[in-house]
Amino acid sequence: MIIGIVGILVATIVIIVGVSAYTQQNSSVDETEITTTPPTTESLQSILEKGEAIESLSYDIALTITMPQYGTQTATMNIWQEKPYFKEQIISTTMGITNTIIIIQRPEGTYVYDAAQGKYVLTTEVSSYVTSLQYLDSKMLKDLLNNQSITDFETDIIDGKKATIIEYTLPLVGENLMTIQVWIWNEKGVPLKAYIDMTMEDISMTMDFVFSNYSFADIPDSTFNVT
């Protein structure tokens, strides 16, 4: 039973990320509500352009997921990105059981590591795996703000880093909404923290992301090797 619950939780993380990204791709800007507060000296668009311009980076995420139906789950996410490659490792722990998912995205497709076979396997479930974290990245946020006249945003300081806060909502299934708050690092245009609150059918969830250990150095090609 415990193993089944862990499987449900891990699947829920990935599937809901896919659903939200799919919704974003199929929703017009008019359907997005953005909350703003006092101004900052630099426009959010220019801050986000810094993140878009980064060719290579790696970072870690401490993730806490709370679901009333299942309790609280914690996960550590390690990310490596070097255009056009992407690698994500998710190590989640629930009720003392640890589960690991490793995903590599390459130009020819997306691979998931199959522990039973001891190798990476090409997958067609693109919406479930590849879209992870897309709704927090600089390009998506910049696209949401495109054609908007909003220029005023609240700022905060996180570990000595100045951040601009953006809050927006995306429609899910039916009348359900997902509310997202992201703290964007002004200097680099990447997230420092994020909070997601959503309800879909009988599932409600909050997700707290804390980003750390950013590196912008080149990443060895072997990191994205699937053979």
Tokens encoding 7: 């499987």
What angle (nearest 5°) sits at the alpha carbon of residue 90, between those of residues 87 and 93? 170
Whether 84 contacts 90, CB under 8 Å: no
Taking only the tens place, the pLDDT of each residue in 165-186 is: 988 887 777 778 888 889 999 9
Domain 2-209: give its CATH code.
2.50.20
Structure tokens belonging to residue 167: 């809050």
Residue 219 token pair = 């990443």
Mean pLDDT of the region 198-223: 91
Residue ranges per structural domain of the chain: 2-209
Q: Determine what percent of the chain is predicted with pLDDT higher than 70.
A: 75
Q: Is the entire prediction scored with pTM above 0.85?
A: no
Reduced to 3 states (helix: H, G, I; strand: E, B; else coil), residue 224 is helix
Alpha-carbon torsion (193, 158, 79, 165), positive or negative = positive
Q: 3-class DSSP state for residue 75?
A: strand
